[in-house]
């Protein structure tokens, strides 16, 4: 007979969701990679470990709408909500790539209250 598959988050397999939300991150780095087809936003801590990420495609935009600055603001808003819950107050911003999406991302970060 096959072994039962342990649930994600059970203590048997070492995963615990409470463990992930318990860590507080006061400072981080926001990496924005903007291309003509998509924009990927990744938030890491100071050591470089990924905390949260999002892209325009995962926010539900398809086709030519992925190139719009509004789509980039939506993606960064999703990431910022996740990291503010974990206690982030300050962040460095690294923008890579062409276009107006980098400017839109900077405006969204300024409005969010992160320094």
Q: The CATH number of 26-112 is which of 3.30.420.80, 3.50.30.30, 3.60.70.12, 3.30.420.40?
A: 3.30.420.80
Q: Give the Å distances, CA to CA, from 30 to 3, 18, 33, 101, 102.
A: 42, 24, 10, 14, 12
pLDDT in tens, 30-49: 999 988 888 889 999 999 89
Token pair, residue 42, equals 């990744």
Range 74-87 average pLDDT: 88
pTM above the 0.85 mark? no
Domain definitions of the chain by residue range: 26-112
| 79-92 mean pLDDT | 89
Looking at residue 29, its pLDDT comes to: 93
Distance between CA 60 and CA 42 in Å, rounded?
Answer: 17
Residue 16 has pLDDT above 60, yes or no: no
């Amino acid at each position: 007979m096959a072994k039962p598959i342990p649930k994600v988050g059970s203590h048997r397999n070492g995963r615990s969701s409470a463990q992930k939300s318990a860590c507080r991150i006061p400072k981080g780095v926001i990496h924005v990679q903007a291309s003509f087809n998509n924009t990927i936003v990744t938030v890491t801590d100071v050591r470089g470990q990924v905390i949260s990420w999002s892209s325009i495609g995962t926010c539900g935009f398809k086709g030519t709408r992925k190139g719009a600055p509004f789509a980039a603001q939506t993606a960064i808003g999703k990431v910022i909500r996740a990291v503010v819950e974990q206690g982030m107050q300050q962040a460095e911003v690294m923008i890579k790539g062409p276009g107006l999406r980098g400017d839109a991302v900077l405006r969204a970060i300024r409005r969010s209250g992160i320094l």
